[in-house]
Structure 1
Amino acid sequence: MFASKSRARIMQLKLELKTTKKSNLSMTDYLQKIKSLADSLAAATQPIPEPDLILHILGGLSPEYESFVTSVTTRLDDLSLEDLNAMLLNQEMRINNAQISFSPEPQANIANSSSCFNGCGKGHGHGRGRGRVGFTRSRNQSVANQSGARSSVICQLCN
């Protein structure tokens, strides 16, 4: 009876190890969960070899770690579990910093001008924005006419 429970427990631990995903866990929590499962298997006389444990860890990472996983699995030299842990913590920090740096923020074309770019005197507020929003050239105008003089820009709001 005891042996049957031990086998069932070992199978449960192996299955849990195989199916554990990082998901929303921090990298520290994810690695701790994997380590706990590996330690439980070792205590049940079923230790997981380090290269297999590394593959379990990499297999549970989310798609944002795909390039990292590729770089680790194509290495020619051996990687220790300790080195992998340090690299994963560093990679998590890089991903978090990139998400903060590149998070989309609303942008607006705001102008400090009280009159139209063309000098129409109307306060459209589009004279010094971040782009050319609000301006078009008429169909017959080009950037420069035949004599080389610049053409004027037409305000879409007041023509």
Structure 2
Amino acid sequence: MSRSLFCDNNVAWAIKLDNELRSMTLGDLTIVQYCQRMKYIADLLANIDNPILEKTLVSHILNGLSSQYEHIATLLHHRDPLLTFLQALSKLVVEEQCFKNSLPQKVLHVDHSSSPLVLLAGRNPRINSNPSRNNP
């Protein structure tokens, strides 16, 4: 009885994990976070005697990428043989870095109130911070 229940639970768990793997998308994750999560799920499947092929994992990873990665995903899908997990991860990290480097740089607002001169003046005990007391 308990072996049957264990097997039934493994089948249900495998179906759940497989669905999660097939439907996962990049979303707001970094490429490394996304690929690590996908690999984790694939490892869980292997642990319950339901391993997936590495090329299937890579295919799921490429399918879940955002449209921003459409070009590289298409190129990697058509590689023969398909890249390994680590090769695909490496290519995608480089692509992600290219996207980050092409974004316009944000202009930082410099707040002069925290400049050293103001901080030094603020620490001077002869300067009273209460303006009403400065006027006799």
Q: TM-score, normalised by structure 1?
A: 0.60
Equivalence for 2:32:
28
Sort the Cα spacing of 1:4 and 1:20 in 2 relative to 1 into closer, same or farther, 3 A: same
- 1:62 aligned to 60, 66, 91, which one? 66
Query: What is the root-mean-square deviation of aligned Cα atoms in Å?
Result: 1.5
Other-structure match for 1:90: 94
Question: Equivalent residue for 1:125?
Answer: none
Rg bigger for which structure?
A: 1
Structure 2 residue corresponding to 1:79, chosen from 80, 83, 98: 83
Give yes or no for contact 2:76–2:82 (8 Å, CA) kept in 1.
no
How far apart in 2 are the matches of 1:87 and 1:44? Answer: 30
2:21 counterpart residue number? 17
- The CA distance in 1 between the partners of 2:82 and 2:31, in whole Å, is 22
Structure 1 residue 27 displacement after superposition: 0.9
CA deviations on 1:14-68 (whole Å, 9 max, x unpaired) are: 0000011110001111011001100000001111101111100001100000000
Determine the C-alpha separation between the residues in 2 that align with 1:44 and 1:77: 28
Distance 1:100 1:47 in 2: 43
Where 1:100 maps in the other structure, the secondary structure is coil
The structure where helix makes up a greater share of residues is 2
Q: Given the alignment, which residue of 52, 66, 75 partners 1:48?
A: 52
- Following the alignment from structure 2 to structure 1, what is the Cα–Cα distance between the partners of residues 25 and 96? 15
Which residue does 1:149 correspond to in 2? none
- Supply the AA of the counterpart residue of 1:4: D
Q: Could you tell me the percent identity over the aligned residues?
A: 30
Gaps of 5+ in 1: 104-159
* Dislocated runs of 4+, deviation >4 Å: none
Aligned counterparts of 1:61 and 1:76: Cα–Cα separation in 2: 20
Given the superposition, is the C-alpha separation of residues 76 and 10 from structure 1 closer, same or farther in structure 2, using an over 3 Å criterion? closer
Q: Which residue pairs with 2:111 in the alignment?
A: none
Q: Using the TM superposition, give the Cα deviation of residue 71 of structure 1 relative to its aligned residue in structure 2, in angstroms.
A: 1.2
| Runs of at least 5 residues in structure 2 that lack an aligned partner in the other structure | 107-136
